Protein backbone atom coordinates (compact mmCIF):
# COMPACT_ATOMS: atom_id res chain seq x y z
CA UNK A 1 0.00 0.00 0.00
CA UNK A 2 1.30 3.45 -0.91
CA UNK A 3 2.13 5.70 2.05
CA UNK A 4 -0.18 8.37 0.61
CA UNK A 5 -3.10 6.00 -0.16
CA UNK A 6 -5.55 7.48 2.38
CA UNK A 7 -6.62 10.21 -0.06
CA UNK A 8 -7.56 7.78 -2.85
CA UNK A 9 -10.53 5.49 -3.41
CA UNK A 10 -8.87 3.65 -6.25
CA UNK A 11 -5.34 2.50 -7.03
CA UNK A 12 -2.90 3.84 -9.56
CA UNK A 13 -2.67 1.83 -12.78
CA UNK A 14 0.24 -0.60 -12.60
CA UNK A 15 2.11 0.67 -15.67
CA UNK A 16 1.71 4.26 -14.46
CA UNK A 17 3.17 3.24 -11.09
CA UNK A 18 6.18 1.74 -12.84
CA UNK A 19 6.52 4.87 -14.97
CA UNK A 20 6.43 7.15 -11.93
CA UNK A 21 8.70 5.09 -9.69
CA UNK A 22 12.19 6.46 -9.09
CA UNK A 23 13.46 3.58 -6.95
CA UNK A 24 15.62 2.02 -9.69
CA UNK A 25 17.55 5.31 -9.84
CA UNK A 26 17.38 6.78 -6.34
CA UNK A 27 17.99 3.64 -4.30
CA UNK A 28 21.68 4.46 -4.41
CA UNK A 29 20.80 7.28 -1.97
CA UNK A 30 20.07 4.78 0.82
CA UNK A 31 23.09 5.81 2.93
CA UNK A 32 22.12 9.47 2.77
CA UNK A 33 18.42 8.76 3.29
CA UNK A 34 19.09 6.78 6.43
CA UNK A 35 21.57 9.38 7.73
CA UNK A 36 18.99 12.13 7.17
CA UNK A 37 16.27 10.13 8.92
CA UNK A 38 18.46 9.37 11.93
CA UNK A 39 19.37 13.05 12.30
CA UNK A 40 15.71 14.07 11.89
CA UNK A 41 14.52 11.58 14.51
CA UNK A 42 17.17 12.68 17.00
CA UNK A 43 16.17 16.31 16.47
CA UNK A 44 12.45 15.50 16.90
CA UNK A 45 13.21 13.80 20.22
CA UNK A 46 15.40 16.70 21.40
CA UNK A 47 12.55 19.08 20.60
CA UNK A 48 10.00 16.93 22.42
CA UNK A 49 8.04 16.20 19.24
CA UNK A 50 8.49 12.43 19.64
CA UNK A 51 9.57 10.43 22.66
CA UNK A 52 13.14 9.43 23.38
CA UNK A 53 12.03 5.80 23.30
CA UNK A 54 10.57 6.19 19.80
CA UNK A 55 13.74 7.94 18.62
CA UNK A 56 15.89 5.09 19.93
CA UNK A 57 13.69 2.49 18.22
CA UNK A 58 13.83 4.49 14.97
CA UNK A 59 17.61 4.75 15.16
CA UNK A 60 18.05 1.04 15.84
CA UNK A 61 15.59 0.12 13.08
CA UNK A 62 17.32 2.37 10.56
CA UNK A 63 20.71 0.92 11.53
CA UNK A 64 19.41 -2.59 10.86
CA UNK A 65 17.98 -1.53 7.48
CA UNK A 66 21.33 0.02 6.55
CA UNK A 67 23.11 -3.24 7.37
CA UNK A 68 20.61 -5.23 5.32
CA UNK A 69 20.87 -2.99 2.25
CA UNK A 70 24.67 -3.01 2.42
CA UNK A 71 24.72 -6.81 2.70
CA UNK A 72 22.24 -7.22 -0.16
CA UNK A 73 19.61 -8.92 2.02
CA UNK A 74 17.08 -6.07 1.99
CA UNK A 75 13.91 -6.81 0.02
CA UNK A 76 12.70 -3.92 -2.11
CA UNK A 77 9.03 -4.34 -3.02
CA UNK A 78 7.19 -3.51 -6.22
CA UNK A 79 5.06 -1.04 -4.27
CA UNK A 80 8.11 0.93 -3.15
CA UNK A 81 7.90 4.10 -5.21
CA UNK A 82 11.26 5.48 -4.10
CA UNK A 83 14.05 4.87 -1.60
CA UNK A 84 12.28 6.99 1.04
CA UNK A 85 9.09 4.93 0.94
CA UNK A 86 11.04 1.67 0.82
CA UNK A 87 12.95 2.51 3.98
CA UNK A 88 9.95 3.94 5.84
CA UNK A 89 7.83 0.90 4.94
CA UNK A 90 10.48 -1.49 6.20
CA UNK A 91 11.04 0.58 9.33
CA UNK A 92 7.34 0.58 10.22
CA UNK A 93 7.13 -3.16 9.59
CA UNK A 94 10.04 -3.72 11.98
CA UNK A 95 9.26 -1.33 14.86
CA UNK A 96 5.56 -0.50 14.46
CA UNK A 97 4.06 2.91 15.30
CA UNK A 98 7.41 4.44 16.21
CA UNK A 99 8.44 4.05 12.58
CA UNK A 100 5.28 5.79 11.42
CA UNK A 101 6.25 8.82 13.53
CA UNK A 102 9.54 9.35 11.70
CA UNK A 103 7.98 11.45 8.97
CA UNK A 104 6.62 14.02 11.44
CA UNK A 105 7.59 17.54 10.39
CA UNK A 106 9.06 16.63 7.04
CA UNK A 107 8.05 15.77 3.48
CA UNK A 108 9.63 13.69 0.79
CA UNK A 109 10.26 17.07 -0.87
CA UNK A 110 12.80 18.23 1.71
CA UNK A 111 13.90 14.64 2.30
CA UNK A 112 14.98 13.98 -1.29
CA UNK A 113 16.64 17.39 -1.53
CA UNK A 114 18.62 16.57 1.62
CA UNK A 115 19.60 13.13 0.34
CA UNK A 116 20.72 14.48 -3.03
CA UNK A 117 22.78 17.25 -1.45
CA UNK A 118 24.50 14.82 0.91
CA UNK A 119 25.21 12.43 -1.96
CA UNK A 120 26.49 15.21 -4.19
CA UNK A 121 28.84 16.49 -1.51
CA UNK A 122 30.35 13.04 -1.01
CA UNK A 123 30.79 12.45 -4.73
CA UNK A 124 32.30 15.88 -5.35
CA UNK A 125 34.90 15.20 -2.65
CA UNK A 126 35.79 11.95 -4.41
CA UNK A 127 36.00 13.78 -7.72
CA UNK A 128 38.30 16.44 -6.32
CA UNK A 129 40.56 13.69 -5.00
CA UNK A 130 40.61 12.00 -8.42
CA UNK A 131 41.27 15.36 -10.07
CA UNK A 132 44.34 15.86 -7.88
CA UNK A 133 45.58 12.35 -8.68
CA UNK A 134 45.36 13.00 -12.43
CA UNK A 135 47.22 16.27 -12.03
CA UNK A 136 49.93 14.42 -10.08
CA UNK A 137 50.38 12.17 -13.12
CA UNK A 138 50.72 15.19 -15.40
CA UNK A 139 53.25 16.84 -13.08
CA UNK A 140 55.31 13.67 -12.81
CA UNK A 141 55.38 13.18 -16.58
CA UNK A 142 56.28 16.85 -17.11
CA UNK A 143 59.21 16.63 -14.68
CA UNK A 144 60.29 13.30 -16.18
CA UNK A 145 60.65 14.88 -19.64
CA UNK A 146 61.54 18.43 -18.70
CA UNK A 147 63.90 19.03 -21.64
CA UNK A 148 61.88 17.38 -24.43
CA UNK A 149 60.80 19.75 -27.21
CA UNK A 150 57.83 19.22 -29.52
CA UNK A 151 56.14 21.39 -32.11
CA UNK A 152 53.58 23.78 -30.74
CA UNK A 153 50.56 24.05 -33.01
CA UNK A 154 47.95 26.53 -34.06
CA UNK A 155 45.29 25.39 -36.54
CA UNK A 156 47.02 21.98 -36.12
CA UNK A 157 49.93 23.38 -38.16
CA UNK A 158 53.50 23.73 -36.90
CA UNK A 159 53.78 27.08 -35.14
CA UNK A 160 56.59 27.42 -32.58
CA UNK A 161 58.60 24.87 -30.58
CA UNK A 162 57.59 24.38 -26.94
CA UNK A 163 58.74 22.17 -24.11
CA UNK A 164 56.68 19.00 -23.74
CA UNK A 165 56.45 19.80 -20.03
CA UNK A 166 54.98 23.21 -20.89
CA UNK A 167 52.35 21.52 -23.07
CA UNK A 168 51.35 19.10 -20.30
CA UNK A 169 51.16 21.91 -17.77
CA UNK A 170 48.54 23.65 -19.91
CA UNK A 171 46.25 20.71 -19.10
CA UNK A 172 47.31 20.85 -15.47
CA UNK A 173 46.00 24.42 -15.22
CA UNK A 174 42.76 23.49 -16.98
CA UNK A 175 42.21 20.73 -14.45
CA UNK A 176 43.10 23.04 -11.55
CA UNK A 177 40.25 25.29 -12.63
CA UNK A 178 38.01 22.22 -12.78
CA UNK A 179 38.94 21.55 -9.15
CA UNK A 180 37.77 25.06 -8.26
CA UNK A 181 34.49 24.49 -10.09
CA UNK A 182 33.96 21.20 -8.26
CA UNK A 183 34.71 22.97 -4.99
CA UNK A 184 32.24 25.71 -5.86
CA UNK A 185 29.57 23.10 -6.62
CA UNK A 186 30.33 21.46 -3.26
CA UNK A 187 29.82 24.78 -1.49
CA UNK A 188 26.52 25.25 -3.34
CA UNK A 189 25.35 21.80 -2.20
CA UNK A 190 26.48 22.39 1.38
CA UNK A 191 23.21 23.80 2.74
CA UNK A 192 20.42 21.92 4.50
CA UNK A 193 16.82 21.89 3.23
CA UNK A 194 15.71 19.44 5.95
CA UNK A 195 12.75 20.80 7.91
CA UNK A 196 11.38 22.86 5.04
CA UNK A 197 8.74 20.12 4.73
CA UNK A 198 6.60 20.18 1.58
CA UNK A 199 7.08 23.87 0.75
CA UNK A 200 5.91 26.14 3.59
CA UNK A 201 7.76 24.87 6.63
CA UNK A 202 5.92 23.18 9.49
CA UNK A 203 4.06 24.00 12.70
CA UNK A 204 6.29 21.65 14.71
CA UNK A 205 9.07 23.31 16.75
CA UNK A 206 11.91 21.95 14.63
CA UNK A 207 15.55 22.83 15.18
CA UNK A 208 16.75 22.90 11.58
CA UNK A 209 20.22 24.03 12.62
CA UNK A 210 20.65 20.96 14.83
CA UNK A 211 19.79 18.51 12.06
CA UNK A 212 21.95 20.47 9.61
CA UNK A 213 24.93 20.30 11.97
CA UNK A 214 24.38 16.59 12.60
CA UNK A 215 24.51 15.97 8.84
CA UNK A 216 27.60 18.09 8.28
CA UNK A 217 25.93 20.98 6.47
CA UNK A 218 27.55 24.37 6.98
CA UNK A 219 24.28 26.30 6.80
CA UNK A 220 20.49 26.06 6.61
CA UNK A 221 18.57 27.21 3.53
CA UNK A 222 16.55 30.20 4.79
CA UNK A 223 13.54 29.94 2.44
CA UNK A 224 11.40 26.80 2.55
CA UNK A 225 10.14 27.23 -1.03
CA UNK A 226 13.69 27.54 -2.32
CA UNK A 227 14.85 24.68 -0.12
CA UNK A 228 12.64 22.07 -1.78
CA UNK A 229 12.78 23.38 -5.35
CA UNK A 230 16.42 24.45 -5.74
CA UNK A 231 18.55 22.25 -7.95
CA UNK A 232 21.23 24.80 -8.75
CA UNK A 233 23.73 22.56 -7.00
CA UNK A 234 22.84 19.74 -9.41
CA UNK A 235 23.29 21.99 -12.44
CA UNK A 236 26.54 23.37 -10.99
CA UNK A 237 27.88 19.86 -10.41
CA UNK A 238 27.00 18.66 -13.90
CA UNK A 239 28.40 21.85 -15.42
CA UNK A 240 31.69 21.33 -13.56
CA UNK A 241 31.75 17.72 -14.76
CA UNK A 242 30.90 18.74 -18.33
CA UNK A 243 33.69 21.28 -18.64
CA UNK A 244 36.19 18.92 -17.08
CA UNK A 245 35.13 16.22 -19.56
CA UNK A 246 35.72 18.76 -22.35
CA UNK A 247 39.26 19.28 -21.03
CA UNK A 248 39.84 15.53 -20.83
CA UNK A 249 38.47 15.15 -24.35
CA UNK A 250 40.94 17.71 -25.66
CA UNK A 251 43.84 15.88 -24.02
CA UNK A 252 42.54 12.58 -25.37
CA UNK A 253 42.44 14.03 -28.87
CA UNK A 254 46.12 14.93 -28.58
CA UNK A 255 47.01 11.53 -27.13
CA UNK A 256 45.20 9.87 -30.03
CA UNK A 257 47.06 12.02 -32.57
CA UNK A 258 50.42 11.69 -30.84
CA UNK A 259 50.15 7.89 -30.76
CA UNK A 260 49.65 7.59 -34.55
CA UNK A 261 52.43 6.56 -36.90
CA UNK A 262 52.24 10.03 -38.46
CA UNK A 263 53.19 11.69 -35.16
CA UNK A 264 54.78 8.94 -33.07
CA UNK A 265 55.34 11.29 -30.13
CA UNK A 266 54.09 8.78 -27.57
CA UNK A 267 53.45 5.07 -27.20
CA UNK A 268 50.54 4.04 -25.03
CA UNK A 269 50.98 1.26 -22.51
CA UNK A 270 49.39 -2.07 -23.36
CA UNK A 271 47.36 -1.57 -20.17
CA UNK A 272 45.53 1.33 -21.82
CA UNK A 273 45.28 0.06 -25.40
CA UNK A 274 43.32 -2.58 -27.29
CA UNK A 275 43.82 -4.55 -30.49
CA UNK A 276 41.81 -5.37 -33.57
CA UNK A 277 39.78 -8.51 -34.20
CA UNK A 278 40.98 -8.62 -37.81
CA UNK A 279 44.20 -6.58 -38.11
CA UNK A 280 46.96 -8.21 -36.02
CA UNK A 281 49.24 -5.16 -36.07
CA UNK A 282 46.78 -2.72 -34.48
CA UNK A 283 47.24 -1.01 -31.13
CA UNK A 284 44.25 1.24 -30.64
CA UNK A 285 43.84 4.15 -28.17
CA UNK A 286 40.33 2.96 -27.32
CA UNK A 287 40.23 4.33 -23.79
CA UNK A 288 41.24 7.80 -24.92
CA UNK A 289 38.55 7.56 -27.60
CA UNK A 290 35.98 6.44 -25.02
CA UNK A 291 36.70 9.40 -22.77
CA UNK A 292 36.42 11.69 -25.79
CA UNK A 293 33.09 10.06 -26.65
CA UNK A 294 31.72 10.05 -23.12
CA UNK A 295 32.22 13.82 -22.92
CA UNK A 296 29.22 14.18 -25.24
CA UNK A 297 27.01 12.23 -22.89
CA UNK A 298 27.95 14.36 -19.90
CA UNK A 299 27.28 17.52 -21.89
CA UNK A 300 23.89 15.96 -22.67
CA UNK A 301 23.30 15.54 -18.92
CA UNK A 302 23.87 19.27 -18.50
CA UNK A 303 21.41 20.15 -21.27
CA UNK A 304 18.92 17.76 -19.67
CA UNK A 305 18.95 19.33 -16.21
CA UNK A 306 18.83 22.90 -17.56
CA UNK A 307 15.88 22.01 -19.77
CA UNK A 308 14.10 20.31 -16.86
CA UNK A 309 14.50 23.33 -14.60
CA UNK A 310 13.76 26.13 -17.05
CA UNK A 311 9.94 26.07 -16.83
CA UNK A 312 9.22 24.95 -13.27
CA UNK A 313 7.00 27.07 -11.03
CA UNK A 314 7.59 27.02 -7.28
CA UNK A 315 7.77 24.81 -5.39
CA UNK A 316 8.27 21.06 -5.87
CA UNK A 317 7.23 19.40 -9.13
CA UNK A 318 7.55 15.76 -10.15
CA UNK A 319 9.84 16.90 -12.97
CA UNK A 320 12.55 17.19 -10.33
CA UNK A 321 12.64 13.41 -10.11
CA UNK A 322 14.62 13.66 -13.35
CA UNK A 323 17.48 15.49 -11.64
CA UNK A 324 19.27 12.43 -10.30
CA UNK A 325 19.85 10.17 -13.29
CA UNK A 326 21.85 12.81 -15.16
CA UNK A 327 23.68 13.82 -11.98
CA UNK A 328 24.67 10.25 -11.20
CA UNK A 329 25.75 9.64 -14.78
CA UNK A 330 27.83 12.81 -15.03
CA UNK A 331 29.65 12.27 -11.74
CA UNK A 332 30.20 8.55 -12.37
CA UNK A 333 31.55 9.22 -15.85
CA UNK A 334 33.91 11.97 -14.75
CA UNK A 335 35.34 9.94 -11.87
CA UNK A 336 35.94 6.91 -14.11
CA UNK A 337 37.49 9.13 -16.77
CA UNK A 338 39.82 10.82 -14.27
CA UNK A 339 41.09 7.48 -13.02
CA UNK A 340 41.60 5.99 -16.49
CA UNK A 341 43.31 9.16 -17.71
CA UNK A 342 45.64 9.26 -14.71
CA UNK A 343 46.76 5.71 -15.44
CA UNK A 344 47.08 6.40 -19.16
CA UNK A 345 49.29 9.45 -18.60
CA UNK A 346 51.41 7.74 -15.95
CA UNK A 347 52.19 4.72 -18.15
CA UNK A 348 52.66 6.25 -21.61
CA UNK A 349 56.14 6.35 -23.16
CA UNK A 350 57.39 9.66 -24.55
CA UNK A 351 59.36 9.36 -27.80
CA UNK A 352 61.60 12.43 -27.61
CA UNK A 353 63.45 11.60 -30.83
CA UNK A 354 60.23 11.63 -32.84
CA UNK A 355 59.37 15.03 -31.36
CA UNK A 356 62.83 16.34 -32.22
CA UNK A 357 62.47 15.32 -35.87
CA UNK A 358 59.17 17.17 -36.18
CA UNK A 359 60.50 20.28 -34.45
CA UNK A 360 62.89 20.74 -37.38
CA UNK A 361 60.00 20.93 -39.84
CA UNK A 362 57.49 23.67 -40.58
CA UNK A 363 59.65 26.83 -40.48
CA UNK A 364 59.09 27.20 -36.75
CA UNK A 365 61.95 29.73 -36.45
CA UNK A 366 60.05 32.22 -38.62
CA UNK A 367 58.65 34.35 -35.80
CA UNK A 368 62.03 34.58 -34.08
CA UNK A 369 63.69 35.66 -37.31
CA UNK A 370 61.09 38.39 -37.69
CA UNK A 371 61.75 39.40 -34.06
CA UNK A 372 65.47 39.48 -34.88
CA UNK A 373 64.84 42.14 -37.53
CA UNK A 374 62.38 44.04 -35.34
CA UNK A 375 64.96 44.25 -32.54
CA UNK A 376 67.27 45.89 -35.08
CA UNK A 377 64.73 48.63 -35.68
CA UNK A 378 62.73 47.29 -38.62
CA UNK A 379 58.95 47.63 -38.15
CA UNK A 380 57.58 44.20 -37.25
CA UNK A 381 55.08 44.18 -40.12
CA UNK A 382 57.93 44.75 -42.60
CA UNK A 383 59.98 42.06 -40.86
CA UNK A 384 56.99 39.70 -41.07
CA UNK A 385 56.81 40.30 -44.83
CA UNK A 386 60.52 39.65 -45.35
CA UNK A 387 60.49 36.40 -43.42
CA UNK A 388 57.34 35.31 -45.26
CA UNK A 389 59.26 35.76 -48.50
CA UNK A 390 62.11 33.65 -47.09
CA UNK A 391 59.65 30.87 -46.21
CA UNK A 392 58.30 31.01 -49.76
CA UNK A 393 61.88 30.73 -51.06
CA UNK A 394 62.42 27.65 -48.88
CA UNK A 395 59.25 26.04 -50.20
CA UNK A 396 60.39 26.66 -53.76
CA UNK A 397 63.78 25.09 -53.03
CA UNK A 398 62.40 22.28 -50.88
CA UNK A 399 64.49 23.24 -47.85
CA UNK A 400 64.06 24.80 -44.40
CA UNK A 401 65.15 28.16 -43.01
CA UNK A 402 68.27 26.68 -41.44
CA UNK A 403 69.39 25.51 -44.91
CA UNK A 404 69.54 29.03 -46.34
CA UNK A 405 72.93 30.72 -46.64
CA UNK A 406 73.87 34.02 -45.03
CA UNK A 407 73.87 35.50 -48.54
CA UNK A 408 70.25 34.41 -48.95
CA UNK A 409 69.37 36.20 -45.75
CA UNK A 410 71.33 39.34 -46.65
CA UNK A 411 69.69 39.45 -50.06
CA UNK A 412 66.32 39.52 -48.31
CA UNK A 413 67.45 42.22 -45.83
CA UNK A 414 70.85 43.75 -45.13
CA UNK A 415 70.15 43.78 -41.37
CA UNK A 416 70.88 40.05 -41.20
CA UNK A 417 74.30 39.09 -39.81
CA UNK A 418 76.09 35.84 -39.07
CA UNK A 419 74.39 35.62 -35.65
CA UNK A 420 71.14 34.71 -37.40
CA UNK A 421 72.15 31.05 -36.97
CA UNK A 422 71.50 31.45 -33.24
CA UNK A 423 67.82 31.99 -34.07
CA UNK A 424 67.48 28.74 -36.02
CA UNK A 425 68.20 26.26 -33.23
CA UNK A 426 65.09 24.76 -31.52
CA UNK A 427 66.74 24.81 -28.09
CA UNK A 428 67.64 28.48 -28.52
CA UNK A 429 64.13 29.27 -29.76
CA UNK A 430 62.61 27.68 -26.66
CA UNK A 431 65.14 29.25 -24.30
CA UNK A 432 64.33 32.72 -25.64
CA UNK A 433 60.71 32.53 -24.45
CA UNK A 434 61.55 33.80 -20.96
CA UNK A 435 58.39 35.78 -20.28
CA UNK A 436 56.26 34.68 -17.33
CA UNK A 437 54.19 31.71 -18.46
CA UNK A 438 56.47 31.14 -21.46
CA UNK A 439 58.10 27.93 -22.58
CA UNK A 440 61.73 28.69 -21.63
CA UNK A 441 63.16 26.11 -19.20
CA UNK A 442 63.46 28.66 -16.39
CA UNK A 443 59.90 29.90 -16.96
CA UNK A 444 58.57 26.34 -16.99
CA UNK A 445 60.52 25.56 -13.82
CA UNK A 446 58.86 28.56 -12.17
CA UNK A 447 55.50 27.35 -13.45
CA UNK A 448 56.13 23.87 -12.03
CA UNK A 449 56.80 25.38 -8.61
CA UNK A 450 53.54 27.31 -8.80
CA UNK A 451 51.73 24.12 -9.78
CA UNK A 452 53.26 22.17 -6.90
CA UNK A 453 52.26 24.89 -4.44
CA UNK A 454 48.72 24.94 -5.81
CA UNK A 455 48.58 21.16 -5.64
CA UNK A 456 49.38 21.20 -1.93
CA UNK A 457 47.02 24.11 -1.27
CA UNK A 458 44.09 22.34 -2.92
CA UNK A 459 44.91 19.09 -1.13
CA UNK A 460 44.69 21.02 2.13
CA UNK A 461 41.37 22.53 1.03
CA UNK A 462 39.97 19.08 0.34
CA UNK A 463 41.21 17.72 3.66
CA UNK A 464 39.51 20.59 5.50
CA UNK A 465 36.05 19.86 4.06
CA UNK A 466 33.48 18.58 6.55
Q: Are 346 and 259 in contact (CB under 8 A)?
A: no
CA count, 13 A, side-chain hemisphere, 81: 18
Q: Is residue 6 part of a domain?
A: no
pLDDT of residue 12: 64
Q: Is residue 453 part of a domain?
A: no
Give helix then strand counts, H and E, for the chain.
Answer: 19, 4
Q: Are 171 and 188 in contact (CB under 8 A)?
A: no
**Judgement on whether residues 419 and 408 belong to the same structural domain of the protein:** yes
The CATH number of residue 415's host domain is 1.10.40.30
Last residue of a domain, one of 339, 358, 377: 358
Q: Is residue 59 part of a domain?
A: yes
Region of 155 on the Ramachandran plot (φ > 0 left; ψ -120 to 50 alpha; else beta): left
Alpha-carbon distance of 169 to 192, in angstroms, equals 38
Q: Is residue 42 part of a domain?
A: yes
Q: Is residue 4 part of a domain?
A: no
Which residues of the chain have a pLDDT value below 70? 1-13, 466
| Domain limits for position 391 | 361-446
**Judgement on whether residues 42 and 177 belong to the same structural domain of the protein:** no
Q: Is residue 322 part of a domain?
A: yes
Q: Could you say which DSSP state residue 310 is in?
A: T
Alpha-carbon distance of 354 to 263, in angstroms, equals 7
**Judgement on whether residues 269 and 412 belong to the same structural domain of the protein:** no
Region of 404 on the Ramachandran plot (φ > 0 left; ψ -120 to 50 alpha; else beta): beta
**Judgement on whether residues 220 and 246 belong to the same structural domain of the protein:** yes
The CATH number of residue 240's host domain is 1.20.200.10
Q: Is residue 144 part of a domain?
A: yes
pLDDT of residue 187: 98
**Judgement on whether residues 283 and 349 belong to the same structural domain of the protein:** yes
pTM for the predicted model, two decimal places: 0.93
- SS3 of residue 173 by DSSP: helix
pLDDT of residue 79: 84
pLDDT digits (tens, 9 = 90+) for 190-201: 999 999 999 999
**Judgement on whether residues 132 and 99 belong to the same structural domain of the protein:** no
Q: Is residue 466 part of a domain?
A: no
Among all residues, which ones are annotated catalytic? 155, 276
Last residue of a domain, one of 358, 377, 408: 358
Q: How many other CB atoms sit within 10 Å of the CB of residue 425?
A: 15
- CA Rg value for the chain: 30
- Sort 10 into a burial class: Cβ within 10 Å, 0-12 / 13-18 / 19+: exposed
Number of domains in the chain: 3
Amino acid sequence: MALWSGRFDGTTEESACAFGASLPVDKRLFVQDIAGSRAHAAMLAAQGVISTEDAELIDQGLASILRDIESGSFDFELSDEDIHMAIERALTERIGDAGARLHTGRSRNDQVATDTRLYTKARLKALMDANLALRESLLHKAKQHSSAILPGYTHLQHAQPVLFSHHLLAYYWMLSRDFKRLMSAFECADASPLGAAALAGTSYPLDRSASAEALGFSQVIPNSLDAVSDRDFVADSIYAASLSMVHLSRLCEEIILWSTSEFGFITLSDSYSTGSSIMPQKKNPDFAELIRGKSGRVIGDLIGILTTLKGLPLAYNKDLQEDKEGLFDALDTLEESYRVMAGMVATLTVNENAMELQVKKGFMAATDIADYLAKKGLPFRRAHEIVGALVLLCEQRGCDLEDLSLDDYKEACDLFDADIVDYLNPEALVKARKSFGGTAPDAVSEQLNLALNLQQSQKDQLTALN
